[in-house]
Amino acid sequence: MTDAAILTEKLTKHYGSLQAVHALDLHVPAGSVFGFLGPNRAGKTTTIRLLLKLVRPTAGRAWVLGQDVARGSARFLAQVGALVEAPAFYPYLSGRDNLRVFAHTGGYPDQKRIGEVLEIVGLADRQRDRVRTYSLGMKQRLAVAATLLNRPQLLFLDEPTNGLDPAGQAEIREIVRALGQAGHTIFISSHLLHEIEQICDHVAIIDRGQLLRQGTVAEILGEQSALRIEADPIDHAAALVTHLTHITPERTADRQLLIRVPRERAPEIVQALSAASVRVYQVVVERESLEQVFLRLTRAEALTRDEARTRDEVKKT
């Protein structure tokens, strides 16, 4: 566990018959920006609450910063910052004074730190303005500043850009990037796939509380690659590619083929085409976006559930 900021083993939380999280195995590398993806009601917030010792698991175990969450003490929380729900600020106080309140109630006596976190989130020039004059994006940045007061090793951000306009989303993304580059481990849950793809280096995808896939973003995006081949004569090229790969390529243009094979097969295919006197003008590797991967996995999971439900109904009849 030395390289893991978060580790879970069959972590499960059921509320009666509702399966919120089921047998979840996560590995969040220390120092990573980890994206936790899932549709609404996928179990993202419940997982965060389990990791923060806010709810007890039905089964399984979790370790945060090397400490057993359920069986150990809560000392690890002193090294954790969390934004799970938007904090309630005092609207008649300034941003700086609100952070003073948070610092006092949290037991963080270092007043210099308040100025530092305001700089980090880009609110230094508005720190003396009352919070009631802040935009939603500014309030969210102030909330992130509050989570940084204790100089956390690990930061949980649950849907931090939810409800923000594009400018506000971009501001939060820049803050997350900067925190990641500074060495913080960041666990960010979201359903905004383009956002996760831009800022995270590791990702996990869950649906209905179950893990569908996890790994580096590069690994997950590279799982389903395709080669777009521009060649002439195209009929001859298509026949050769089919014979070589046992896959029929798609015709996408007059002189273009699209074939879904690993990128590692590109040299072999080009060599075979060239040896057969086929002129190859270009070969482009195309990868799925994170959104495409997400939709493919969640749709496959939904189809599996529908098939299981159909089988159960047939058995009953």
CATH of residue 281's domain is 3.30.70
Q: Which of 12-21, 110-119, 189-198 has the lowest mean pLDDT?
A: 189-198
**Residue 310 falls inside a structural domain:** no
- The amino acid at residue 221 is L
**Residue 302 falls inside a structural domain:** no
Strands 4-15 vs 67-68: parallel, antiparallel or unpaired? unpaired
Q: What is the mean pLDDT of residues 16-34?
A: 95
Domain co-membership, 208 together with 249: no
> In angstroms, rounded to a whole number, what is the distance separating the alpha carbons of residues 176 and 83?
13
Domain co-membership, 201 together with 244: no
Cβ-Cβ contacts under 8 Å for 281 (sequence gap 6 or more): 230, 231, 232, 255
Domain residue limits at 79: 4-214
> In angstroms, rounded to a whole number, what is the distance separating the alpha carbons of residues 4 and 232?
51
Which of 90, 77, 71 is closest to 48 using CA atoms? Answer: 77
Rg over alpha carbons for the chain, rounded to the nearest Å, is: 24
Interval 46-58: pLDDT, tens: 999 999 999 999 9
Domain co-membership, 188 together with 236: no
Domain co-membership, 152 together with 273: no
Q: What is the mean pLDDT of residues 211-226?
A: 83
Rounded to the nearest integer, the mean pLDDT of the chain is 89
**Residue 109 falls inside a structural domain:** yes
pTM of the model: 0.79
Which of 222, 184, 188, 180 is closest to 204 using CA atoms? Answer: 188
**Residue 317 falls inside a structural domain:** no
| Cβ atoms of 65 and 76 closer than 8 Å | yes
| Cβ atoms of 242 and 249 closer than 8 Å | yes
Residue recorded with tokens 């969210």: 140
Query: Where does a domain end: 155, 186, 214?
Result: 214
Domain co-membership, 204 together with 246: no
**Residue 156 falls inside a structural domain:** yes
Higher pLDDT, 109 or 183: 183
| 136 backbone dihedrals φ, ψ, rounded to 5° | -60, -40
Interval 259-295: pLDDT, tens: 988 888 899 999 999 999 999 999 998 877 787 788 8
Interval 112-163: pLDDT, tens: 999 999 999 999 999 999 999 999 999 999 999 999 999 999 999 999 988 8
**Residue 77 falls inside a structural domain:** yes
